[in-house]
Amino acid sequence: MTDLKIYLAANASLCLAIGGLLIGLAFGALTQRANFCTMGSIASWITLDDARGLRAWALAVAIATGAVAILTAYGALDPALTMYASPRLNWVTNSLGGLMFGFGMVLAGGCASRNLVRAGAGDLRSALTLLVTCLFATMTLGGILGPLRASLEQWTAITLPMPTQRLPDMMSGMVGPSADLVLPLTISLILFAVCFADKPFRTSRRHLAIGVGVGALVAGSWAITGLAYDEFAERIHLPVSLSFVKPSADAFDWLERYTALGMPGFAVASVFGTFLGGALTAYAGGRFRLMAFADKNDTLRHMAGAALMGIGGVLAAGCSIGQGISGLSTLSIGSILATGGIIGGTVIGIKWLQDGDH
């Protein structure tokens, strides 16, 4: 482990770019082949009483959470360095952003990662949806909506009396230093039990593949970026995992300013990998099809959803993957709030579409 950490830290830029590309390729191929969609999983639960998709999501969280605990115990990852761990809790923007993102992905027919994979498979609707999502994300980060976002965060954020906003730090007073290992592994085991208690789920190879595959890829992302971190490096790379709103916007920025930015980071490389993985898998399986919007209403609905996903993804500091799996695996309070908002917004969006022809 020590030799690997030394090598990754010494060659961080190259290793993170290659690692991000490979993990993205695997994620894109898996989600395209298994037709994984967070919104679809929630919709199946609401309309068909089929919770296998949600259990696959929970299994991915269980694997990633357990992996974070083990990586932390072996010194391969410091969760306190991640974007999810700040003691400054943006509880309003996490929750509100999650609601906006969840509602938006219903209108857009899928989350940011799903639209990225579909775009690779020839879906022109998803390509335009992704472009608009990135545009509104950039506007919210540092553009015309940036001052409003910053003001909202400043007015509502609270600073917790703890080193981080992670649940293990909250529980350390009762559990002690072992909270970083005991609490995540306990939660992971509970999620495993909930998932495998359901016979339809444990006998579905597709859903098992989704849960195990996505969880392993998120865990692998934490391992690579955690080991590559070097606080004394000229260019410091903080640990990150899979996420698809801001990284997609950053990917477009990289395409525009490659000569100034140099080697893409892990997050940007994973976006390119996901697109390529979806494209190659769709082509190999004979599923590559050029698709356009059905009519004006279909176009407007997707564009409205894209705008909400772009704004909401920035406010929530992540998407259904970035917060719903990567963030949850760190047991961050903000990630829990954002994920709850995403689920709530998705449920509201599905119910709204069911109530009438929009």
What residues contact 233, with CB distance under 8 A and at least 6 apart?
A: 9, 12
Confidence of residue 102 (pLDDT cuts 50, 70, 90): very high
Task: Give the per-residue pLDDT at 177.
Answer: 64
Distance CA(281)–CA(28), nearest Å, equals: 8
Distance CA(262)–CA(328), nearest Å, equals: 31
Mean pLDDT of 145-171: 94
H/E element holding 265?
none
pTM, 2 dp: 0.95
Distance CA(297)–CA(199), nearest Å, equals: 41
Segment 221-261, tens digit of pLDDT: 999 999 999 988 888 999 999 999 999 999 999 999 999 99
Query: Is residue 282 scored above 90 in pLDDT?
Result: yes
H/E element holding 234?
none
Query: Is residue 193 scored above 80 in pLDDT?
Result: yes
Which of 4-18, 170-184, 324-338 has the lowest average pLDDT?
A: 170-184
Query: Is residue 358 scored above 70 in pLDDT?
Result: no
Mean pLDDT of 58-75: 96
Task: Give the per-residue pLDDT at 174.
Answer: 62
H/E element holding 354?
helix 333-354
Confidence of residue 175 (pLDDT cuts 50, 70, 90): low
Mean pLDDT of 145-169: 95
Torsion of CA 135, 140, 143, 147, to 10 degrees: 170
Judge contact between 48 and 350, C-beta under 8 A.
no
- Among 51, 215, 37, 58, which residue's Cα sits nearest to residue 117? 37
Distance CA(81)–CA(106), nearest Å, equals: 32
Task: Give the per-residue pLDDT at 357.
Answer: 57
Distance CA(65)–CA(106), nearest Å, equals: 27
Query: Is residue 95 scored above 80 in pLDDT?
Result: yes
Beta bridge partners of 89: 158
